[in-house]
């Protein structure tokens, strides 16, 4: 049994995030959240990032709570069913649209909760990708041209706990000199030993990396056209995205055509840049049928959502005026359930087969 | 046949300072184990760095002369180009790790060289077996023991198949078991794989018996020869050599077994079991426990420290020594039990009063220093301790004379820096002094100085944790041995260490009759 490619989990999560962004239907959002939770429960590992999913759940809850608080304080309240009153503050005419306090109606409050829930599910999807895909393995799957950035990130991830440790150690040592001071006064007393320690360690690490051949690939110069192609491609991509997001102003020279050309140019640039980097990857993750299946499941979900949006847009929203029960269409329901299929893939064994 | 490493009239100087290496010429043959010895600051690290060109390519400085490794001149080859020829492991293996699991770390160097995937895979498996760390392959590097980390670090520079391996103090920070693991690995590499190994080590007694050649450094000048030749008048010498010199043994024995054979001719009287000084009790700990979550670091320890006596706390890495020291001082966590010093519990006192009762010198003494000059550190220490100005400075002068007021604490030698922190902690004249691994990075001279300093504290109870059995033999009146958070044995030093296989000092092993040090045997 092999481990799942980290890109596959990100693809899956992006598919679900797109699906969630298309709906405010609480039944569908709840279902998406459940699917994400089930898959994470089946596949997460007992590592720092694996345990981080809980944090994202709390972040999601916080987002909903904040959304509700903002609605109560300054949101525009509307609806027919009155819940309770809050004291109001009269605002000048130019601040129309902001209403501090006032009567709170069920419909408006429900809408705030659902908008918060939609954002929370998006956050859950990102959190799931983070919990399922080892960020370091993800960096290894990046194109070789980004090798230096990858190394910097990996070093930063490894050094962070050491820094925390040395801060803790020095703080503790302060007490030995009878110094119980807190706040800004302690800063130089802690910062100076910690910085010296960090600097020493960085020099040792740099020297070790040099001795182990890091940077040996610099002997080959990177051709000029690589930089031009990569940068130009990125600019074209941005221009194309801009066109796509403003469909009213789209012409042939903005929009999808430019976007495709831009992406192509960047990819060629990255591949060309990678050629001059003479490093290799130890046991790289390979893209396999299971990875395709995982991404495919999320694509099915997203397609089902988009199809429903075209054919029956009302079923994707919560009816508010008049208030009613949300509907759930069969294609959308099935589409979301398909995204839970990766939960059935047997989880990777702890040690890879020898 | 060309030499594996060759130095021809090499001198190294940094900036305007005096040369660190002066006119150094020597060569090391393929498959030899060379040991580099010398006092702290004698240029050992510079010499090791020059082998793969880190000196001067990375550190700066000026190198004259010629250094060649396997025929390649370091003047024209950068360290990164020599990665396939020389493997270098620094003093702190953890500081040199780039990735975070064992397997990735072993592969890192090969990735940088762009070796094909199947070659990398094969070599990682080979090295895992050669070093006996196959069961650690998926483990995070930070969770390994010191000995395991050191072996992984060695493995990670071996995967590009260098013919020369350079190790800077590979066993200094390790407990006796960890040191054994690493030494076994090193000798295996030399004997089975024919790797040329160059080792610098303070704990010469651990490595000397395996060395083919000794490179002795004294103020930048080298003497090179067989161990027995060079050790005759070396500036640093382990107890076995000191003993051989004192009794004029020929040839000079390098290990305990040879020395024992020579010692047969001696007629020594059995040493009377002298009892350690019996001062009044300065610190009493009862039923002391420290827990971190589910882990019990210190388990119901009872301990008494007498005024004017030195107690050594020994035991494996992770047996709870540091946790016990911090709990006794009162600044560390404590789950249960009581500590009494002078009728008071330091844990209940404000930090400033706490150190008036119990002083602690932590494992990295530099953590306590943050000012740019020694003079400023001393002044601030006087204010903090609430004593007359000049107290700390005069304490420092009795401990190590001649530390300049203007020097930066970071520029002091390990021994001087330790003495500065010791002076700061003694400024409040505490009743109890605790030291956590004070001998790290100290050479024999600095250790002897520390022994004298501690012996002078006749009204203080001293407790120090250490792995260094030779140091314990010189300094300690009593020994307590910890395992799994409990004190499993304690008593007068002679009774505890002489019969122990792990904690007996070299002199005790050679002479028997309960002798602990050369001074005792020669009657000085």
**Is B147 within 8 Å of B178 (Cβ atoms)?**
yes
Q: How far apart are CA A193 and CA A180, in angstroms?
A: 17
- Mutate one of A211, A216, A275, A354 to test the B interface: name it (highest B CB count within 10 A): A211
Q: Which residue of A has its CA nearest to B162?
A: A212
Segment 251-280 of chain A within 8 Å of chain B by CB: 278-280
Q: Does A312 touch chain B (CB under 8 A)?
A: no
**Is B492 within 8 Å of B276 (Cβ atoms)?**
yes
Q: How far apart are CA B320 and CA B485, in angstroms?
A: 5
CB < 8 Å & 24+ apart, contacts of B57-64: B57/A210, B58/A206, B58/A207, B58/A210, B59/A207, B59/B14, B60/B14, B61/B12, B61/B13, B61/B14, B61/B15, B61/B20, B62/B12, B62/B13, B62/B14, B63/B10, B63/B11, B63/B12, B64/B9, B64/B10, B64/B11, B64/B12
Partner residue facing A177 (CB), from B79, B350, B368: B368
Q: What is the pLDDT of residues B479-504, one digit of tens each?
A: 999 999 999 999 999 989 988 888 89
Q: Dihedral sign, CA of B115, B120, B124, B125?
A: negative
Q: What is the pLDDT of residues B3-50, one digit of tens each?
A: 899 999 999 998 887 889 999 999 999 999 999 999 888 889 899 999
Q: Does B446 touch chain A (CB under 8 A)?
A: no
Q: Is B308 left (phi over 0), alpha (psi -120 to 50) or beta?
A: left
Phi then psi dihedrals of residue B265, to 5 deg: -70, -15
**Residues of chain B found within 8 Å of residue A165, distances taken between Cβ atoms:** none
B97 and A158 within 8 Å at the Cβ level: the answer is: yes
Is residue B478 within a helix (H) or strand (E), and if so which, with residue range?
A: strand B478-483
In the predicted model, what is the mean pLDDT of residues B216-222?
A: 92
How close, in Å, is residue B51 to chain A by CA atoms?
11
A297: helix, strand or coil = helix
Q: Where are the domains of chain A?
A: 6-219+277-344
Tell me what the pLDDT averaged over chain B comes to: 91
Tell me which of A274-283, B49-58, B143-152 is least confident.
A274-283
Tell me what the pLDDT averaged over chain A comes to: 83
pLDDT at position A51: 77
Q: What is the pLDDT of residues B412-456, one digit of tens each?
A: 888 889 999 999 999 999 999 999 999 988 888 889 989 998 998
Percent of residues, chain B, with pLDDT higher than 90? 65
Q: Between A244 and B64, whose confidence is greater?
A: B64
The answer, yes or no, to whether the previous bond of B56 is cis (omega within 30 of 0) is yes
Model-level ipTM above the cut of 0.90: no
Q: What is the pLDDT of residues B275-304, one digit of tens each?
A: 677 778 999 999 999 998 888 999 999 999
Segment 334-353 of chain B within 8 Å of chain A by CB: 350-353
pLDDT at position A220: 59
pLDDT at position A287: 87
Strands B72-73 and B461-465: unpaired
A193 and B362 within 8 Å at the Cβ level: the answer is: no
- Mutate one of B84, B91, B96, B383 to test the A interface: name it (highest A CB count within 10 A): B96
The end-to-end CA distance of chain A, in Å, is: 11
Q: What is the pLDDT of residues A211-224, one digit of tens each?
A: 998 876 555 566 77
Give the number of beta-carbon pairs within 8 Å between A and B: 172
- Mutate one of B80, B138, B357, B411 to test the A interface: name it (highest A CB count within 10 A): B80
B331 and A284 within 8 Å at the Cβ level: the answer is: no
Segment 156-175 of chain B within 8 Å of chain A by CB: 156-157, 160
Confidence of residue B466 (pLDDT cuts 50, 70, 90): very high
Query: What are the beta bridge partners of residue B86?
Result: B164
Q: What order do you get walking across the sheet with B164-168 strand by strand?
A: B86-89, B164-168, B196-200, B33-38, B213-218, B221-225
């Amino acid at each position: 049994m092999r481990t799942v490619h980290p890109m596959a989990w990100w693809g899956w999560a992006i598919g679900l995030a797109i699906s969630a962004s298309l709906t405010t239907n609480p039944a569908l959002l709840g279902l998406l959240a459940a699917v994400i939770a089930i898959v994470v429960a089946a596949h997460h590992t007992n590592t720092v990032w694996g345990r981080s999913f809980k944090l994202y759940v709390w972040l999601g809850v916080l987002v909903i709570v904040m959304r509700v608080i903002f609605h109560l304080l300054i949101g525009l309240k509307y609806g027919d069913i009155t819940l309770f009153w809050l004291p109001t503050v009269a605002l000048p005419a130019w601040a129309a649209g902001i209403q501090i306090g006032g009567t709170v109606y069920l419909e408006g409050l429900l809408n705030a909760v659902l908008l918060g829930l939609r954002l929370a599910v998006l956050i859950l999807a990102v959190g799931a990708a983070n919990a399922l895909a080892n960020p370091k393995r993800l960096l290894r799957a990046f194109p070789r041209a980004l090798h230096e950035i990858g190394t910097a990130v990996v070093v930063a991830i490894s050094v962070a706990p050491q820094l925390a440790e040395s801060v803790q150690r020095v703080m503790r040592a302060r007490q030995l000199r009878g110094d119980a001071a807190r706040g800004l006064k302690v800063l130089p007393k802690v910062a100076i030993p910690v910085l010296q320690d960090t600097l020493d360690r960085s020099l040792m690490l740099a020297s070790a990396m040099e001795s182990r051949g890091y940077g040996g690939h610099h002997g080959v110069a990177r051709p000029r056209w690589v930089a031009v192609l990569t940068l130009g491609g990125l600019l074209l991509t941005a221009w194309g995205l801009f066109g796509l997001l403003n469909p009213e102003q789209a012409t042939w020279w903005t929009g999808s055509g430019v976007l495709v050309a831009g992406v192509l140019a960047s990819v060629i640039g990255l591949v060309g840049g990678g050629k001059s980097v003479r490093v290799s990857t130890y046991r790289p993750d390979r893209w396999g049928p299971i990875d395709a299946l995982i991404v495919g499941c999320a694509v099915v979900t997203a397609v089902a959502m988009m199809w429903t949006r075209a054919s029956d847009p009302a079923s994707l929203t919560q009816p508010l005026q008049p208030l009613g029960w949300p509907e759930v269409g069969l294609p959308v329901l099935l589409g979301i359930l398909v995204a839970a299929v990766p939960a059935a893939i047997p989880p990777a064994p702890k040690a890879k087969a020898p | 046949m060309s030499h594996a490493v060759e130095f021809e009239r090499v001198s190294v100087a940094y900036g305007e300072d005096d040369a660190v290496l002066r006119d150094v010429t020597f060569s090391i043959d393929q498959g030899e184990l060379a040991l580099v010895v010398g006092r702290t600051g004698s240029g050992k690290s510079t010499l090791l760095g020059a082998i793969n060109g880190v000196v001067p390519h990375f550190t700066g400085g000026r190198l004259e002369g010629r250094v060649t490794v396997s025929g390649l001149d370091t003047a024209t080859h950068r360290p990164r180009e020599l990665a396939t020829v020389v493997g270098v492991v620094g003093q702190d293996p953890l500081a040199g790790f780039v990735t975070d699991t064992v397997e990735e770390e072993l592969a890192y160097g090969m990735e940088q060289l762009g070796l094909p995937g199947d070659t990398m895979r094969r070599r990682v498996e080979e090295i895992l077996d050669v070093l006996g760390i196959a069961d650690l392959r998926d483990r995070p590097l930070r969770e390994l023991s010191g000995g395991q980390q050191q072996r992984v670090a060695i493995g990670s520079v071996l995967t590009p198949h260098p013919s020369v391996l350079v190790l800077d103090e590979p066993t200094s920070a390790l407990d006796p078991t960890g040191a054994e693991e690493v030494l076994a690995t090193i000798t295996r590499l030399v004997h089975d794989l024919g790797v040329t190994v160059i080792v610098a080590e303070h704990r010469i007694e651990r490595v000397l018996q395996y060395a083919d050649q000794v490179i002795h450094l004294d103020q930048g000048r080298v003497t090179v020869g067989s161990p027995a030749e060079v050790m005759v008048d070396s500036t640093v010498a382990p107890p076995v050599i000191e003993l051989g010199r004192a009794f004029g043994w020929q040839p000079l024995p390098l290990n305990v077994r040879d020395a024992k054979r020579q010692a047969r001719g001696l007629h020594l009287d059995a040493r009377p079991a002298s009892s350690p000084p019996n001062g009044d009790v300065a610190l009493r700990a009862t039923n002391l426990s420290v827990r971190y979550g589910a882990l019990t670091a210190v388990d119901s320890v009872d301990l008494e420290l007498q005024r004017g006596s030195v107690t050594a706390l020994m035991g494996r890495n992770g047996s709870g020594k540091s946790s016990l020291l911090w709990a006794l001082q009162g600044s560390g966590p404590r789950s249960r039990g009581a500590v009494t010093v002078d009728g008071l519990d330091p844990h209940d006192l404000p930090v400033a009063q706490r150190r008036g009762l119990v002083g602690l010198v932590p494992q990295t003494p530099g953590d306590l220093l943050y000012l740019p000059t020694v003079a400023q550190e001393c002044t601030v220490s006087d204010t903090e301790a609430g004593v007359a100005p000049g107290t700390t400075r005069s304490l420092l002068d009795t401990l190590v004379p001649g530390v300049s007021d203007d020097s930066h604490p970071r520029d002091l030698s390990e021994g001087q820096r330790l003495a500065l922190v010791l002076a700061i902690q003694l400024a409040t004249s505490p009743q109890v002094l605790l030291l956590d691994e004070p001998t790290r990075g100290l050479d024999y001279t600095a250790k002897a100085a520390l022994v004298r300093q501690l012996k002078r504290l006749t009204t203080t109870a001293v407790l120090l944790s250490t792995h260094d059995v030779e140091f314990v033999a010189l300094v300690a009146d009593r020994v307590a041995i910890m395992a799994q958070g409990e004190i499993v044995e304690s008593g007068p030093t002679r009774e505890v260490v002489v019969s122990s296989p792990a904690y007996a000092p070299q002199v005790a092993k050679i002479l028997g009759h309960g002798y602990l040090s050369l001074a005792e045997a020669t009657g000085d």
